[in-house]
Structure formats: structure tokens, C-alpha cells
Structure 1
Amino acid sequence: MEWFTESGYWLSRLVLQRALAAVYLVAFLGAALQFRPLIGERGMLPVPRYLRGVPFLRAPGVFQLHYSDRFFAVWAWAGVLLSGAVVAGAADAVPLWASMVLWAALWVMYLSIVNVGQTWYAFGWESLLLEAGFLAVFLGNARTDPPVLVLWLMRWLLFRVEFGAGLIKMRGDSCWRDLTCLYYHHETQPMPGPLSWFFHRLPRPLHRVEVAANHVAQLVVPVLLFTPQPVASCAAGLIICTQLWLVASGNFAWLNWLTIVLAFAAVDGAALAKLLSLPAHTPLPAPPLWYEVLVVAATALVVVMSWWPARNMLSRHQRMNMSFNAFHLVNTYGAFGSINRLRHEVVVEGTDAAGLGPGTVWKEYGFKGKPGDVRRTPRQFAPYHLRLDWLMWFAGISPSYAQSWFGPFVERLLEGDPATLRLLRYNPFPDAPPTHVRARVYRYRFTTRQERRATGAWWHRTLEHEFLPPVALRPR
């Protein structure tokens, strides 16, 4: 079948696959370093307790068969090593069938982690990585030219990410329609980055231009992904530029980077190679029949399963970041359908005083990514995902978002649990755990230019109300 492959996309596939493996590496690394205090046997939301009430078909994965912290650690670090090998070119150095096995292993390994991650893994970019990873199984390797069908499926995935996000904005918060959302977003986003203060302080007319440009990038440009070249490449380039703007303005784990990776499925690799003065690619022989059959079958599966996200996008009650099956295949996406106008941060404090009174000295715990110390410059962590910091942002929106895990988190602070403390930037009680811990809600806002020059602070904060009254460990 001469139509089955397109040799001109060899460089596009190379970039896409290596970059996708790099995203896998970051995801597995985060799982390996953070799982014990979050979902470990003594974690805030332990996997063994979760699995006791969840059947295999609702959360398929290896941990349904066996779980221990040691086994999870080996599994996650094996994912780091395997994805690192693929980044280095292992999948292109083996036969086609072996390359597919490597990509399938990465998908199964990360699916197993996501399906026991509970609240800590309830983010759209988890499903996006799994769906892209599943498609990569059928994208071939250096032994065959890229299959056209899978390149189209990658574009369809990118279309759903961008177009779904555009629709949810137009249907959601009115500030997207009156072009004022960026008056607030850079300040109230989950985890501001080092440039977010500067983005927030841009002139308001420019913020309105940003919002209008975002609507074009998400509602018009994605349609052009399905047009002939060079228009499709130009559309992919615009999406890449838009995502790099988002990378510079905040921390959104690997969402933006993975969207950039997917855009290469629409880039004319031959034109890109010529631009970079790379040698011309010689078309490869036709792939084996069994491979063609598998690609056609996978395409048919995705087409059938696309009914659910397509219907969701057309619905007035569109839902964002939702998986319709336990394998996280052919999902629906979207982000920031509503924008917070105010930023509320939960500040956690402890004391080593034996008794409490008006003169009690409280010391604040420092988090790695979320705002705390008003003079500390926001850091860039993406594509690495600080899961506790992100959930703390949700806790500031409403205590209901923290109902399942905040109590266990405080309990581990009172115990001085080393694994939990490693999630933090600063522990004010290095010698012995505190006797009491409390949490209070502060209203945070970016300082003005005048305040910044006068104080050196990035944030100004005012106390609003109590989140958790002082608590101590119960006697055992």
C-alpha cells in the first residue's frame, strides 16, 4: 500500500518520538521521587487501601496483582531507565516489533501508575501522555517510514487538546468572551513562574490582545492541521509558539511541552530537514503486512472511540479533562474554563511550644513551588510536576478539594515523617517535630512596581481566615 507511509515525515517522527520519551522520563522520575509520601504504604492516600475497593477493570495495571513500596520504586525507576534508553535511540536500534514492545511497555508502566495515583494523578496531562504514548506504539521506527494514519491520529489528538480548550473557554467564564481573563490569570494560576510577575504587569490592552490571539490559536489554527502542506506546518508552528508563550508565563507540568511534541506530527519533515541542511532521506521499503494490519486496527479503534470526545465537544455541557475508559484512550481535554479573580494560599505553620497562647511563636513551612515567602522569586519547575504544591492551590480555592489528604499531610508533619518533609523546600523543625500544626488562608497578590522597588517582594499577602485550627498528635 503506497499510501500507507510518508517518507517526508521521517524527521518529524524522530523529533516527536525522542521528545515524547523525554516527557515519559520526567513523568517516571516524578513518580519515583514523590510516591512514598503521596500514595505509598504509609502515604496520605495509600495504594493498598485504595485497591481494596477498586476492581481490576476500573483501574487496570500491575499493582492490582501486587503492591509494595519497594516494587513501586523498582517499577518507576525501570520506567526512567527505559524512557531514557528510548531518548538515546534504543527504539530505532532494534527491529520494528521490538520497538513497538518498548513503546507498549512504557504505556503499560505509566498506565499502572496513573490508575493508582488517585487525586494526585487526576490531571489532564496524565491522560494526554498515555494517549500519545499509545499512538507512539504504532508510529514505527527507523526501519520503516512513518505511517500516514498514525500521523493523522496524532493531529486529531492535538486538535482535541487545542480546540477543546478553546471551546471550554468560550462556553465558560465570561472574561474569556470580554477578553479580560488575563487581567487575573498570571497572578491566580496554580503555580506562577519566574516571569509571571512581569506577564501580569503588562498593559491591559496587551492582555486583551493575548486573549484574542489565544482564541485564534485554539479555535481557528487547529482546523488548519488537517489542510495540505505548507499550511499544516504553519499551523503547527503557530501552536508551538503559543505553547512556548505559556511555558514562559507559568508552570503547567508537561502539558505545554507535550502539546509542542504532538505538533510535530503536522510538520513537513522534508522541508524542515532542508531548512536545517540535513541529508535527504531515502524512502524505505514497504513495512511488513502484520504491521500494516495492526496500524489499521488501531486506527479503527480510535475512530470508533472518538464518538465520545466528539460528542462532548459539541455538547453545551462540555466537560474538560475527562477519560471515558480506564485505559485513558481517546480522551477529552480542556483547561481554565473559569478563572479565579483572587488568589488564596493555604499557609501551613507549626510550633514547638508545649502550650498555646497569645505569645506562641509559629514557624512557616516552605513549599518548593507554590507561593509562600513573599520575597522568594517564583521558580520554574515545569515540565517536572510538583504534585503536593498543585493540590495546595486547589485547597486554597476550597477546603473540599483537600478533604481526603490534608489531614494525613498534617499528621505526617506532626510525626516529622522524612518522606513527606522531602516534598517541602524548608522544614522549620529540623531537630524534632512540632507539637502543633495549624493552617491559615492568606490573600496573595503580586506587588506593584512601586512596592517591588521599595521592598524587593514579589507578593503582598493579607490574612483572611483560619483553614485548620491548631492540632496535635493524639496520644497512642
Structure 2
Amino acid sequence: MDWFVAPEYWLSRLVFQRALAVVYLVAFLTAALQFRALMGERGMLPVPRFVARVSFRQAPSVFHLRYSDRFFAACSWAGCAVSAALVAGLDSQVPLGAAMVLWLIPWALYLSIVNVGQTWYSFGWESLLLEVGFLAVFLGNDEIAPPAVVLFLLRWILFRVEFGAGLIKIRGDACWRRLTCLDYHHETQPMPGPLSWFFHHLPRPLHRAEVAANHVTQLIVPVLLFTPQPIATAAASLMIVTQLWLVLSGNFSWLNWITIVLALSAVRYSAGAPAVAGPPLWYEVLVLVVAAGLVCLSYHPVRNMISRGQIMNRSFDPLHLVNTYGAFGSVSRTRYEVVVEGTADDVPREDSDWREYEFKGKPGDPRRWPRQFAPYHLRLDWLMWFAALSPAYAGSWFGGLVERLLENDPDTLRLLRRSPFPADAPPRFVRAGLYRYRYTTWRELRETGACWHRTFVREYLPPTRLATPMAQRR
């Protein structure tokens, strides 16, 4: 069936698949290096406790069958290995069926992780990776030309990502309609990057232009994805440029990168298509059945997208096959940070020797310049931003973090940039304070070398110690 395939997109498929495999690799690496402290057997939100109360039907995962930290690590590193093989092009060297299995493995493994990840994995880019990864299973390999229906569905995802994000902004915070949100956003975003300070200090008229351009890119340009070439390629290219601008302005995990990956699938390159055989009948039937199912499942995200009560980042099925997306429907005007400190003194007083814990990505020491981490995702740092917005966001895990700091737990300390206490001498007490952070001015930067200025607001957590001393625990 000539209508079934789009041979002119063979290079688009190749670029898309290799780029998606890189994102998978980063996601599995993030899981492998961080899971023990976050949700391992002794983690802040242990997986065994979660699967004991949530059924397999509600959250399908291999970890319902069994869980151990060793098994989780094996799954994560296996995901890294398969992703690396896909980056290297192994799917092009095997038969079509085997290639589909290769793409199915990282999707199933990552689904298993996300579905037990709880609040650590509750963000839109997790579902987006799963939705895109599922479609990648049916995109084929070098044996056949790319199926047009799958390419269309990839554009459909890109449309929902961008258009949904545009709608949530227009319906949400008034500063998006007034074109003033970027007066605050670069300063108050969850995890600033090394250039965020400079973005914040751009002239305000340029900030207005940025917001206006964002509205155009998210509310008008996505419609052009479904127009003939070369208009669709131009629309996708504009989206890529916009996402790269966002990459420069902050750390947003792999959200921007996977959006770029999606846009790459809509670009038609000038290279000629190689001669390939027609797709087998079983493959055509399978792709059409899956496509029909995904179109039916799209009812819920479309209904949400056109609703006045639009919600962001929601999955409508436990397999995360079709989801709704959106970001920054509201923008904070003031930045708060939770600063965690410990002391070895037997009696905690205000004048005790309080030493500050340093996180890798979130602001802490006013003189320490933010670093670029994305697409690698610092999950604890990201959740600390939510903890500063309201203690309610951290109610399920912040106490566990404090307990592990009091124990000098090695897995937890590996998530931090630096602990102020030796490995064999944990603090006696830990406390947390809430601080107001703002970017310094150009003059303050020259005079002090600090990119942040912070002011104490109030106590966040009073001095806390272990109920049972560690010596007695042993």
C-alpha cells in the first residue's frame, strides 16, 4: 500500500530514533544513579511500601512481581545498555520484528520505573517519553519505509505538547496575557542554569517580545505541522529554535530535548530515499490497529485541552499511552529556597555551629553560580523547589530526607554536592530555614561576585534529631 509508507522521511526517522535513544539513555542513567536514596528499600519513598498498597492494574510494573535494590539497578542498567545499542543503530542491523522488540524493552522498563516512582516521577516529561517511546516501537527500521500514520501520530503528540502548553498559559496566569511573565520566570524557575541570570537581566521590552513569540510558537505554529511541505518543516524548525532558546535559559530535565526530538521527525530532509521492500502484512495490520486505538484514547486529552478547566501533565491510562501536557500555567513572582543545615553540638542554639548542606543544582551559596545539568535530571533538587513553595508538597518525603542526613546515609549524600560533616561523624541536629532569593544586580555582581542575594524569612523545620541515637540502633 503506497499510502501506508512515507519513504521521503527515512532520514527523519533515522535522526528521530537515534535522538530518542539518547534521551532514553539519560533517563535510565538518572534512575540508576539516584533511585536508592529516593525510592529504594531504605529510600525516602520505598517502592516495596508503594506496591503493597497500589495494585498492578493501577500501576503496571515489573516491580510488582518482585523488588530489590539489586533488581531495580539491573533494570536501570539494562535500560542503559539497550538505549546505547539503539544509539549505535542495532535496530537497523536486525530483522523488523527484532527491532520492534528492541524498542519495546526500554519502553516497558521505563514504564515500570515511572509507575512506582511516585512523586519523584510525577512530571510531564516522564509521560512524554513513554508516549513517544511507545510510538517508536512501530516506526520500523531500514527494512521498510517509515509508516505515514506513525509519523502523523508523532506530529499529533508535538501538537498537543505545544498547543496545550500555550492554552494553559493564556488561560492561567494573567502575566502571560500581559506579556510580563518573563520579568519573573528566569529568576523563579525551578532550577536556573548558568545563563539564567543574564536572561533575567535582558531589557524588559525584549522579555515582552519573548512572551509574544512564545504565544505564536505554541498557539499558531503547531497547526502548520499538518500542512504540506515545506511549511511543516519550517514550523518544526521554528519549534526547535524555540526549544533551544529554552535549553539555554534553564534546566528543564529532558522536556525541551524530547520536544526537539519530536520536531525532528516532522522535518523532511533533502536526501533521497533508499530502495526498500514493502512492509509485511502483519506489520501493516498491527500499526493500523495500534493507531486506531491511540486515536480513540486521544478523546480524553483533547477534551481536557478544550476545557476551561484544563489541567497540566495528566495521564489518562496506566500505560501512559496518550497524555495531556503543559507547563508554567502560573509563574511565581518571588523565589524561596529551603536551606538545610546541621550541627554537631549537643544542644542546638541559634549561635551553634550550623553548617549548610550544598545541593548540586538548586540555589544555595549566593556566590555559587548555577550549572547546566539538563537533560540529566536532579530529582531531589527539583522537588526542593516545590518544598519551598509549600511544605505540603514535601510532606511525604522531607522527613525522610532529614532522617537520612542525620544518619549520614551514603546514598543520600551522593545526591548532594557537599555534606559539611565527615562520613564517620553525622550531625546531632538538622534544621531548615526558608529564604527569599533574588538575582543580584550588575553592580552587586561586580562588587560581591555573588549572583544571588538571600534574606531569611522564617523557620521551615526546627532543630530535629533522631528519636533513637545511632549508637543504640547499632
* Fold in common (TM above 0.5): yes
* 2:419 is the alignment partner of 1:427: yes
Query: What SS does the corresponding residue of 2:26 show, helix, strand or coil?
Result: helix
Query: What SS does the corresponding residue of 1:346 show, helix, strand or coil?
Result: strand
Deviation, structure 1 residue 283:
3.1
Deviation, structure 1 residue 414:
0.2
Q: How does 1:20-419 map to 2 (within 5 A)?
A: 20-269=20-269, 271=270, 273=271, 280-419=272-411
Deviation, structure 1 residue 396:
0.5
* 2:473 is the alignment partner of 1:470: no
Deviation readout 1:18-68 (Å, 9 max, x if unpaired): 000100000000000000000000000000011111111101010010000
> Equivalent of 1:457, from 442, 450, 456?
450
Distance in structure 1 (CA, Å) of the matches to 2:357 and 2:61: 36
Deviation readout 1:335-387 (Å, 9 max, x if unpaired): 00000000000000000111122421100000000000111110000000000
Deviation, structure 1 residue 307:
0.3
* 2:440 is the alignment partner of 1:447: yes
Amino acid at match of 1:456: G
Conservation of the 8 A alpha-carbon contact between 2:15 and 2:265? no
Deviation readout 1:110-142 (Å, 9 max, x if unpaired): 000000000000000000000000000000011
TM-score by length of 1: 0.98
Deviation, structure 1 residue 331:
0.3
Deviation, structure 1 residue 264:
1.5
Distance in structure 2 (CA, Å) of the matches to 1:339 and 1:73: 37
Match of 1:438 in 2: 431
Match of 2:12 in 1: 12
Conservation of the 8 A alpha-carbon contact between 2:6 and 2:148? yes
Distance in structure 2 (CA, Å) of the matches to 1:22 and 1:186: 27
Query: What SS does the corresponding residue of 1:461 show, helix, strand or coil?
Result: strand
Conservation of the 8 A alpha-carbon contact between 2:361 and 2:371? yes
Match of 2:3 in 1: 3
Distance in structure 2 (CA, Å) of the matches to 1:154 and 1:128: 11
Distance in structure 1 (CA, Å) of the matches to 2:211 and 2:349: 50
Query: What SS does the corresponding residue of 1:57 show, helix, strand or coil?
Result: coil
Query: What SS does the corresponding residue of 1:425 show, helix, strand or coil?
Result: strand
Deviation readout 1:383-429 (Å, 9 max, x if unpaired): 00000000000001000000000001000000110000000001000
Query: What SS does the corresponding residue of 2:324 show, helix, strand or coil?
Result: coil
Distance in structure 2 (CA, Å) of the matches to 1:307 and 1:404: 33
Q: How many residues align?
A: 468
Distance in structure 1 (CA, Å) of the matches to 2:460 and 2:345: 20
Query: What SS does the corresponding residue of 2:434 show, helix, strand or coil?
Result: strand
Query: What SS does the corresponding residue of 2:57 show, helix, strand or coil?
Result: helix
Query: What SS does the corresponding residue of 2:262 show, helix, strand or coil?
Result: helix
Structure 1: runs of 5+ lacking an equivalent: 274-279
Query: What SS does the corresponding residue of 1:58 show, helix, strand or coil?
Result: coil
Deviation, structure 1 residue 228:
0.2
Distance in structure 2 (CA, Å) of the matches to 1:217 and 1:373: 36
Query: What SS does the corresponding residue of 2:336 show, helix, strand or coil?
Result: strand
Identity rate of aligned residues, in percent? Answer: 69
